[in-house]
Structure 1
Amino acid sequence: MTMASEIDGYTYIGQGYSVVPVGKHEGIAMNITTPQEMIKLMSDPQKIKETVVVTPGGTTTFVAPILYRKPAGIVTYAGTPESHLGIVGRNFRVPIVMTLQLEGVDSIPDGTPLLLECEGKLGHVYLK
């Protein structure tokens, strides 16, 4: 599959490993780096469904409990689909892009609309 530089008004910002082929999913970025931030998000079930969790690593075990609540997606800057997060995420069919390599941007700010394209072994991330 070839990635496009733009889809539905979203601009391509990078790719990583797609954990499970679940198609395209949209959500709002939220950077989560501590268990306390995850607990705060877990207290708002509606917000979870609209959120793409952006976290440093795929071995960040505090991210796994959110999977059963079906977030809009998860993006990590490290890790592999064979990690705990990848295995559990696959079972819940949550769109996850792991080891994202950013192109043209340095970070994904909180509140940024994201599109995750998880249709093959590689996942592509787009922002608005």
Structure 2
Amino acid sequence: MTETAAGTVIGRGTSAYTSPEVVEGPVRWLDSPDAVLDLVGSGRIGEYIAISRGGTTTFMAPALAAGVRGLLTLQGMPTSHLGILSREFGIPCLMSVTFTDGVRTERGETVPADDTVVRLDISRGEGAVLLG
């Protein structure tokens, strides 16, 4: 892990849509259509930074349309489906993120635990996820 003045860097990826400000909020791992619909239906989607497995995961579209705070993907590039949609909806998005800290999914990927508060810093066109 890399320490900075802003916090500990727990992941890096490729920016698909940059925001002039740092976006902060709890993360939620959305690995199924049901998980997306549950969060959308909670009425709290605007509080969360969503994590998705792939850049072509079309079931994430309702989360973007409902105004998720930010989006992180484990795969994909800015020209993939979610990269394009994030720009259309104006949602900060970092793709192909590799996390150095977190929990293991059933497929062996590392992601921050649900409700971990992170800062998505892509304000300078660089892609970093900062932990407190």
Q: TM-score, normalised by structure 2?
A: 0.84
Return the match for 2:27 from 17, 25, 29: 29
Deviating 4+ runs (over 4 angstroms):
none
Rate the CA distance shift 1:108–1:91 in 2: closer, same or farther, 3 A. same
5 Å matches for 1:1-128? 5-7=4-6, 10-22=7-19, 23-45=21-43, 47-105=44-102, 106-128=110-132
* Contact 1:6/1:12, CA 8 A, preserved across alignment: no
- Partner SS for 2:111: coil
- Partner SS for 1:41: helix
For residues 98 and 6 of structure 1, the distance between their equivalents in structure 2, rounded to whole angstroms, comes to 24
Q: CA RMSD in A?
A: 1.8
Greater relative contact order, per chain length (Cα 8 Å cut-off, separation 6+): 1
Aligned-pair CA distance for 1:119? 2.2
Unpaired runs of at least 5, structure 2: 103-109
Aligned-pair CA distance for 1:37? 0.7
Aligned-pair CA distance for 1:66? 1.6
* Contact 1:81/1:98, CA 8 A, preserved across alignment: yes
* Contact 2:101/2:111, CA 8 A, preserved across alignment: no
1:84-114, CA deviations, whole angstroms, 9 ceiling, x for partnerless residues? 1111110111011100012355431001001
For residues 26 and 92 of structure 1, the distance between their equivalents in structure 2, rounded to whole angstroms, comes to 18
* Contact 1:18/1:119, CA 8 A, preserved across alignment: no
1:8-65, CA deviations, whole angstroms, 9 ceiling, x for partnerless residues? xx321121011112131011111110001111111123x1111111111111110122
Counterpart in 1 of 2:105?
none
Unpaired runs of at least 5, structure 1: none
Aligned-pair CA distance for 1:70? 1.7
